[in-house]
Structure 1
């Protein structure tokens, strides 16, 4: 049966936007665990809204351990899986549109989660609904899986896998195109540098929006009664080159204005020399790279006082051919004197054979739908592909699109959102017809 994907999608897009808006309106940021809501009320509410929609579309639905839901078409125990998430990072400040609803201006949609990841995973669900409405026979069972803790460590996945089999193959629409067969290793460090008690008396607390998911863009501190403040540019922590880091900007301001002396001056000078505009580790001796995954990335994301210490947090994403141990041992040699290095988060690299026939099938789907090169790639991001066996990342961002998620005014162009739906419909058909 020949399908005019674009026409079918165009005829039903307004219904899709209406349904997506319902999901977007739930502020599904991780909250305090409650009975029946292990990651807070917001993520659980979003899951219930989606399950109600999927049930209305005619799919079998189920919620596993109050953490993960799925919509299934087919009855086989083995299934093709599409795994996305409904939780989002906090909205933050500086929005031009209401963060928790679907807004449109000049053919562009805005809202927290429209790209990461409510828009793409709902495009998969609605695309599957369109295939079902067309009575397209699928040879394999397909399951759209909705997680609720991807942004905070993916602790929802072990709960799901404790009761459900993993897919025989599948993808997560939560990264970029073409097919992503490898994800770099991630390690977050806290560097604790000690000072004499009187040395830190001149410093107030560092005030600003600092979190591991983004480059901080606003930071201030009071030194000797004088407030110093800087404004940078927010960007995802896996794209530090797209931002202007407020931590290094503040360190530069402190050193240039000579507001500290002695060991404090040495510390902020080290911070500037090691990290200011040095996103690939060259200032710390860890500028590792390889052919498959490119250069290491480093992002300072938090600076604060901790007793008689300054605590600096770094997020590092290292190439797939290197180990965390290599990064750690080299980094130790380039820290301020007497500093302590602690690992606060670690995720090993992930690598799926790019020659796999299903990977190549998705690559062809992408090429057929876009006319672009579908050669599989690697990423600096971290997706469910690290935690769910047998899946790879596939979309939704197209080449050249970077640094949109986790920012103010998160957006997705209407043409891209609809093209994603077409690609995912084609991908589901291709994977279930084999």
Structure 2
């Protein structure tokens, strides 16, 4: 086995090369685009897959793109039974208000900035780098290892079924797309569309809502024209699974509108409902849905979109519910609290996932985490959604450390040099230990 000093020395000696290669990946605008031949998720994600294959081959590993959806680096000859790390190279749109160029890896102080540096190009490349350094140090795994790179995680993980059509899943592995320590369970996710008719004439004079609204983040900038008045609501953007860290522009808009003398009738009542039921009620308490359990904590809720229809208003709500509750319980509870005559439609449904937190594999990862960091490695659950929901035998492991939250899916995405190097160290030891298991 390679000793810890050799691991530390190899990481430090190769740091500059690591960032040079990572900068090439950050520069690729791998946001989902229009599908075309050999690029089911657009030209940007395809370019990222081709770029990683070139790097993999340069490092001396077997490389392959599978069904134009995922690429992998393989060390070993067994294509059936292998340990796998499943990360992704696609990213969410950059948004606005960056202080650096989002497509240029930029160091400011001890932090590196760029779209994907945390979610998920930085950690994805750190796992490949960990494998490269082990190879350079002379390690030889008993078990075949694959580092798999996806291209559609941010838009529904439609790359996973394409991969599984051609390849067997790993016998065990992780995705470096969440947090530490080991994440053995992920909450259920359900998104709803609430259509509320406005039939008393109070919709007249109301313009369309405009702003940056998406299910992956709390909206932070929304405008609407009411008569001759333009109402502009400013919030604070945060990931939709951490709404308490942001300020929702939809609920800010509601607070402004209910004090606007030109709004009356059903429109006024509708925005009073939003304000009463949703404003700062991040855990469903305004809707009687304050579910919680010991494994996963509290339900989380946030409005993610609002739009005008021909006869009313449509509102999008996102829920992350505890593992011991069901989607039907959330649906029934929400149905009972809707505005009058509203209809409810499920637009996204992802069941919770749970793994055996006492498995030998999870025990190895927990021990590695504790050895490297000195922190408590007791497995946890998450509000996030990762490849662990769609790739069999995968759990989440890193890259964010306790206390780090709300960095991804917003402007000025960052990861510190110290954390990137610490991730490489953790993944080197984890790959080495898992690669030696029978």
Whether contact under 8 Å (2:212, 2:220) holds in the other structure is yes
Shift of residue 201, structure 1, vs aligned partner: 1.4
CA distance in structure 2 between the aligned counterparts of 1:201 and 1:245, rounded to whole angstroms: 25
The answer on whether the counterparts of 1:213 and 1:406 sit within 8 Å (CA) in structure 2 is: yes
Match of 1:359 in 2: 362
Q: Of 75, 79, 83, which aligns to 1:80?
A: 83
- More off after superposition, 4-13 vs 18-27: 4-13
Q: CA deviation at 1:257?
A: 2.9
Q: Contact 1:197 / 1:308 at 8 angstroms: preserved in 2?
A: no
CA distance in 2, matches of 1:297, 1:64: 36
Aligned-partner Cα distance in 2 for 1:424–1:216: 35
Partner of 1:117: 120
Report how far residue 256 of structure 1 moved.
Answer: 2.1
Which residues of 2 match residues 184-199 of structure 1 at below 5 A? 184-196=187-199, 198-199=201-202
Residue in structure 1 matched with residue 12 of structure 2 by the alignment: 10
Aligned with 2:346 (options 343, 348, 363): 343
Deviation at 1:199, TM superposition (A): 2.4
Q: CA separation in 1, counterparts of 2:262 and 2:419? A: 49
Instruction: Please state how far the C-alpha of 1:259 moved relative to its aligned partner.
Output: 3.1
1:321 pairs with 316, 320, 324, which one? Answer: 324
Alignment counterpart, residue 380 of structure 1, candidates 380, 383, 392: 383
RMSD between superposed Cα atoms in Å? 0.8
* Mapping 1:266-345, distance limit 5 Å: 266-345=269-348
3-state DSSP of counterpart to 1:144 = strand
Alpha-carbon deviation of 1:268? 0.2
2:248 maps to 1:260: no
| Selected match of 2:93 from 82, 90, 95 | 90
8 A contact 2:200–2:266 mirrored in 1: no
Correspondent of 2:427 among 424, 427, 430: 424
TM-score (norm 2): 0.98
Given that 2:202 and 2:263 are in contact with CA atoms closer than 8 Å, whether structure 1 keeps it comes out as no
Q: CA deviation at 1:197?
A: 7.1
Find the counterpart in structure 2 of residue 232 from structure 1.
235
**Structure 1 length normalisation: TM-score?**
0.99
**Is the contact made by 1:99 and 1:111 (CA closer than 8 Å) also made in structure 2?**
yes
* Consecutive unaligned residues in structure 1, runs of 5 or more: none
Q: Structure 2: how far apart are the matches of 1:359 and 1:3?
A: 21
- Partner SS state of residue 215, structure 1: coil
* Residues 70/197 of structure 1: CA separation in 2 closer, same or farther (3 Å cut): farther
Q: After superposition, give the CA deviation of every residue in 1:227-276 in whole Å (9 maximum; x if it has no partner).
A: 01111100000000000000000000111233311111100000000000
SS state at 2:268 partner: helix
What residue in structure 2 maps to residue 44 of structure 1?
A: 46
For these two proteins, the number of residue pairs brought into alignment is: 434
Question: 1: CA distance between counterparts of 2:363 and 2:317?
Answer: 36
Structure 2 partner of 1:70: 72
Query: Are residue 162 (structure 1) and residue 159 (structure 2) matched?
Result: no
> 2: CA distance between counterparts of 1:306 and 1:37?
34
Counterpart for residue 396 of structure 1: 399
* DSSP 3-state at the match of 1:389: coil
Q: Within 2, Cα distance between the matches of 1:163 and 1:88?
A: 24
Given that residues 200 and 265 in structure 2 are in contact (C-alpha distance below 8 angstroms), is that contact kept between their aligned partners in structure 1? no
Indicate if the aligned counterparts of 2:130 and 2:427 stay in contact, CA closer than 8 A. yes
Q: Is residue 59 from structure 1 mapped to residue 46 from structure 2 by the alignment?
A: no
8 A Cα contact 1:174 1:383, kept in partner: yes
Cα separation, 2, equivalents of 1:278 and 1:245 = 11
Shift of 1:306: 1.5
Q: Is residue 47–residue 69 contact of structure 1 (8 Å, CA) maintained in 2?
A: yes
